[in-house]
Amino acid sequence: MRTVAVAIGIASLVVAGCASMSTPTDNTARAEMRNAGGQVVGNATFTQVGNAVRVLLEVQGLPPGAKGVHVHAVGKCDGPDFASAGSHFNPQGRQHGALNTQGPHAGDLPNITIAADGKGRLESTTELISLVGGASLVFDADGSAIVIHAAPDDFRTDPTGNSGARIACGVIVRK
């Protein structure tokens, strides 16, 4: 009986996945990541699943090490410093970091680790942002961006987690 239930569950996921590939929906978004020189260094995809958003970030050509990743409050990525992306996405007015008792910001995401070959991948899920509505909607009047920082996030220090300069940025747009 359990084998049948698992098989039905897998079949349902395959059918749902195929259906979502053929028709764009409001529950998916993407961002093309660019470095300070304007070169494409990767992509981020966002998928709303129930109350959570799955974030998949894949990059190449970045310096090795752990790097902070955040959703920022403005959908602009003017180089070279990406200051146009504004501060972290924070519609609830909280402090920065999952380890901060007054936090986290809605835009706080885990660190990405960039390997020696310059490639990195982050896969995470968050219930603090939304692609479909509510106070945590990233598609507000000025949009939102995803930013990779030069240093790792300490998940505590307000307002940025000591994550340093912004080294890559992508405007989040509906898929």
Q: What does 26-64 look like in DSSP terms, one character per residue?
A: TTEEEEEEEETTS-EEEEEEEEEETTEEEEEEEE-S--S
Q: How far is CA 65 from the centre of its chain?
A: 18
For residues 172 and 147, give the distance between their C-alpha atoms in angstroms, rounded to a whole number.
Answer: 10
pLDDT tens, 121-155?
A: 999 999 999 999 889 999 999 999 999 999 999 99
78 is catalytic: no
Q: Is 2 a catalytic residue?
A: no
Is the pLDDT at 67 greater than 70, yes or no? Answer: yes
Tokens 């902070």 identify what position?
Answer: 68
CATH numbers and ranges of domains, the chain: 26-174 (2.60.40.200)
Give the DSSP letter of residue 130.
B
Over the chain, what is the mean pLDDT? 88
What is the percent of the chain where pLDDT is above 90?
75
The closest of 112, 172, 163, 165 to 138, measured between CA atoms, is 172
DSSP 83-98: GGG-SB--TT-PPS-T
Q: Is the pLDDT of residue 34 over 50?
A: yes
pLDDT band at residue 25 using 50, 70 and 90 as cut-offs: low
Going by pLDDT thresholds of 50, 70 and 90, the confidence category of residue 97 is confident
- The question of whether 108 is a catalytic residue gets the answer yes
**Which one of 54, 72, 81, 174 is the catalytic residue?**
72
Q: d(Cα 30, Cα 44) in Å, to the nearest integer?
A: 5
Is 70 noted as a catalytic residue in this protein? yes
pTM: 0.84
SS3 content of the chain, % helix, strand, coil (to 5): 15, 35, 50
Cα–Cα distance, 107 to 104 (Å, whole number): 8
pLDDT band per the 50, 70, 90 thresholds, residue 16: very low
Could you say which of 96, 153, 156, 174 is catalytic? 96
Q: Is the pLDDT of residue 54 over 80?
A: yes
